[in-house]
Amino acid sequence: MDYLLTEQQVMIRDLAKKIADEKIKPVAAHYDETEEFAWPIMKILADSDLFGIYIPEQYGGLGGGVMDMCLVTEELSRACAGIALGYGGTGLGTFPILLYGSDEQKKKFLPDIAQGKRLAAFCITEAGAGSDAGSIKTTARKEGDRYILNGTKQWITNAGEAEVYTVIALTDKARGARGASAFIVEKGAKGMDFGKKEKKLGIRASATREVIFTDCEVPAGNLISKEGMGFIIAMKTLDSARPGVGAQAVGIAQGALDYAVEYARTRVQFDQPISNFQGIQHMLADMGTQVEAARALVYATARMIDSGAKSVAKESAMSKLFASDAAMKVATDAVQIFGGYGYMREYPVEKYLRDAKITQIYEGTNQIQRNIIAANMIKESLKK
């Protein structure tokens, strides 16, 4: 399908595709197996300027938006969703600064992120605060010209590898979510530590760790916006970032589908390629339609966000929900088409199945997405 991309977007997509095919595909199985963080690939992405595409030109980027980020995330995820998450997680960690940072904060942090010199990470989830993000316990106490952070963030993507962390912590415990604030914490801050690297079902090339704050000192100038804005910043960040998860899911689904079509064409049973069988053909047709529908919804949402639309929570949630469910279904069917070979780790499709699952869980489970969608629908109806 033709999505009428701009000339620059075509250039961005083609470059990401080239990197995915030539540099990531050959090493995807290696990083999945070893669970190492793919620094050589991050270097390639940095040198190609892809980290800067959604960062304004005045801060060293290329001035694009969520749509550009989605194009890259999709292409990279087609080759390896785990490696792509090093890129996507940096976007998530950068959005609070992009959306609410002061000019001074942007000048200080964005150029390095745009050049891929420093990766970023977003820290909200805690052991007791997953879907119920409002129940976070990490605190930030102001002392003179600094804040003192205490608490433990869990399952933080890019933790340990990233150098810039945007952290949601309570500055006023009594006010609950309304007492939350957002901070920029740099790796190496006194009192900041990382937990062990988590072992995961999929996206194994992505680094996931705890981030532990023990009387961690953060300069007062690293408070984003003002005290009490933390939860709003987090929600707006997620609204902007969810199409990125959608794009990751589209990439996973497309990658699995490509393998499935090729395999169906070449696998011979009953003296003919299995793609001759209508049962297989209908599966492929449904998979292809799901992928295209998911892509169309993700792109439409990304463009809506880039146009400056005020309320995007519903559409953003829909794009993430639909694309991730499609990825799970398509990847499952791809394994089915491969049959026994699909279950073997020697073949590439089982990885897509393992990688797809997380897209239904993180950045808000799909059940939470449905809550957001329904709440917005009901709110809209009341206004009519």
Partner 1 sequence: MHIIVCIKQVPNTTDVRIDPLTNTLIREGVESVINPFDAYAIEEAVRLKERLGGKVTVLTMGPPQAESALREAVSLGCDEAVLLSDRKFAGSDTWATSYTLAAAIRKIGAFDVILCGKQASDGDTAQVGPGISTHLDIPQVTYVKKIAEISADKALVERMTEEGYDTVETPLPCLLTVVKEINTPRLPSLKGMMRAKSVKITKWTADDIGAEPESLGLDGSPTRVIKIFTPEPRKGGELLKGDTADVAAELVELLKDIAA
Residue 22 binds partner 1, judged by CB under 8 A: yes
Q: Which stretch binds partner 1 (CB under 8 A): 15-23, 208-216, 291-299, 344-352?
A: 15-23
Q: Does 19 bind partner 1 (CB under 8 A)?
A: yes
Regarding 90 and contact with partner 1 (CB under 8 A), the answer is no
Question: Whole-angstrom Cα distance, residue 78 to residue 111?
Answer: 28
SS3 state at 213: strand
Yes or no: say if 373 and 301 are a contact pair by the CB < 8 Å rule. Answer: no
Question: How many Cα neighbours within 13 Å face the side chain of 10?
Answer: 6
Packing angle, helices 66-79 and 278-306, rounded to 10: 150
| Pick from 249, 243, 257: nearest CA to 330 | 257
Note whether 57 binds partner 1 by CB under 8 A. Answer: no
> Residue 51 or residue 299: which is nearer to partner 1 going by CB?
51
Please identify, using beta-carbon distances, which residue of 21 and 215 lies nearer to partner 1: 21
Our CB check for partner 1 shows the closer of 79 and 238 to be 79
- Interface with partner 1 includes 13 (CB under 8 A)? no
Widest distance between CA atoms in the chain: 79
For residue 262, the minimal CB distance to partner 1 (Å) is 23
Q: How far is the CB of 8 from partner 1 (least distance, A)?
A: 8
Q: Looking at 4, 30, 38, 44, which residue binds partner 1 (CB under 8 A)?
A: 44
Range in contact with partner 1 (rule: CB under 8 A) among 50-58, 205-213, 226-234, 269-277: 50-58
Cα 210–chain centre separation? 18
The DSSP line for 43-107 is HHHHHTTGGGTTS-GGGTS----HHHHHHHHHHHHHH-HHHHHHHHHHHHHHHHHHHH--HHHHH
For position 149 contacting partner 1 by CB under 8 A, the verdict is no
SS3 153: strand
Single-letter amino acid code for the residue at 237: T
- Give least dist CB 119 to partner 1, A: 18
Q: Report the residue from 24, 27, 42, 53 that binds partner 1 according to the rule CB under 8 A.
A: 53
Q: Please report, as a single letter, which amino acid is at residue 78.
A: R
Q: Which two tokens stand for residue 275?
A: 């793609």
- Can residue 48 be called a binding residue for partner 1 (CB under 8 A)? yes
Q: How many residues bind partner 1 (CB under 8 A)?
A: 16
The residues annotated with a catalytic role in the active site are 363
SS3 352: helix
Place of tokens 């395999």: 263
8 binds partner 1 (CB under 8 A): yes
The stretch among 49-57, 174-182, 206-214, 370-378 that binds partner 1 (CB under 8 A) is: 49-57
Neighbour-count burial for 296-305, b at 16+ CB within 10 Å, e otherwise: ebbbebbbbb
CB of 49 to partner 1, least distance (A): 4
Question: Rule CB under 8 A: is residue 142 a binding residue for partner 1?
Answer: no
Tell me how far, at minimum, the Cβ of 240 lies from partner 1, in Å: 21
Residues paired with 99 in a beta bridge: none
For the CB of residue 43, give the shortest distance to partner 1 in the complex, in Å: 10
Single residue of 49, 193, 198, 227 touching partner 1 by CB under 8 A: 49
Check residue 29 and report its DSSP letter: H
15 lies in the site for partner 1, by CB under 8 A:
yes
What is the contact surface with partner 1 in residues (CB under 8 A)? 8, 11-12, 15, 18-19, 22-23, 44, 47-50, 52-53, 62
